[in-house]
Amino acid sequence: MNEILSKLYSVIEDRKNNPIEGSYTNYLFDKGIDKILKKVGEETAEVIIASKDDNKEDLINEMCDVIYHTLVLLNYKNIKLEDIEKELEKRNEKICNKKQERRPIENI
């Protein structure tokens, strides 16, 4: 799984650095953060719907869309997959990790 995510992230990064006309990834980068966030939100909602409909094939397809758009967001924000991996490794070491209170949302 890590290999395919790395390959996809590399393609996204390449599109960002070497735009190709007609590329959907370039379209997202050109439109900017608002469009990328809109797509992450839309695809996440579609994951919820596919889960409620109990349709495995739709859920897999929508999860792939969420992963792709999330990777675009990470790349847009200059966050590497290694940064995510490190954080997941830290979290994996925790036991009895009850969620803390969420901090207030700022800059909306």
39 occurs within a structural domain? yes
Q: Is residue 107 part of a domain?
A: no
pLDDT-derived band at 95, boundaries 50, 70, 90: confident
- Please give the model's pTM, rounded to 2 decimal places: 0.83
Question: Does 30 fall in a domain?
Answer: yes
Residue 91 near residue 32, CB atoms below 8 Å: no
Q: By residue range, what is the domain housing residue 11? A: 2-84
The angle that helices 2-17 and 81-92 make with each other, rounded to 10 degrees, is 150
Tens-digit pLDDT profile for residues 9-24: 999 999 999 999 999 9
- Cβ distance 50 to 62 under 8 Å? yes
- Domain total for the chain? 1
Rounded Cα distance, 73 and 37, in Å? 7
CATH for 72: 1.10.287.1080
Does residue 42 lie in a domain region?
Answer: yes
